[in-house]
Amino acid sequence: MTIELDLYGILPEWAVYDGLSERREAFDGTAAPVLDTKAHAPGDAFLDMQAMLLEMTKELRECFQRFQSQKVLAERDADDAGDEAARKLAQTDAKAAIEAVSLIVRTLEKIDSLQRTLIAGRAEADTGGEDDEAALIEEFDRLVEQRVKERMDAAKREWTRKAGAGGDAAAAMEGGP
């Protein structure tokens, strides 16, 4: 049986936290196979989504800064260009950087909108949960009262039936022979 380690991903250095550090000799002391732990047990969906949006915001901020500096460099190159072709190429680079920056800004606005929607939904679910809980308690109490009334009526009918039958029999025995 052959194990294809490329399918699992290989870390260039040993990870201390993965529990494999005791078994280094099994892997030539070079690199350790790593199990992808992204498929973790489901947690709070709100927190998972919030973490994902924050990570996206961080990455987009880094891209934004990179494209901003590229735009500045391209504009400087366009100003310093000696010939027309170099100037046009630098202007094209500056325009591409500006378009990338504007796309990043629009994406950040959408992420912000998603975060606000998530927070509003979470707040609504939290306050709605109390209302829902109160409504459930009220419905439960109503059903209990209804069931108690039904059982009391059934017990009363049964008692009346038995008392009526028993009362007729008792009256017949008293007035009997």
Residues 97 and 103: their CA atoms lie apart, in Å, by: 10
Residue 60, pLDDT above cutoff 70: yes
pLDDT in tens, 75-107: 888 888 888 888 888 888 889 989 999 999 999
Q: How far is CA 28 from CA 15, 19, 23, 88, 132, in A?
A: 15, 16, 10, 54, 59
Highest-pLDDT range among 28-37, 58-67, 130-139: 58-67
Per-residue model confidence (pLDDT) at position 18: 46
DSSP state string for 92-123: HHHHHHHHHHHHHHHHHHHHHHHHHHHHHHHH
Q: Which H or E run contains 164? A: helix 84-174
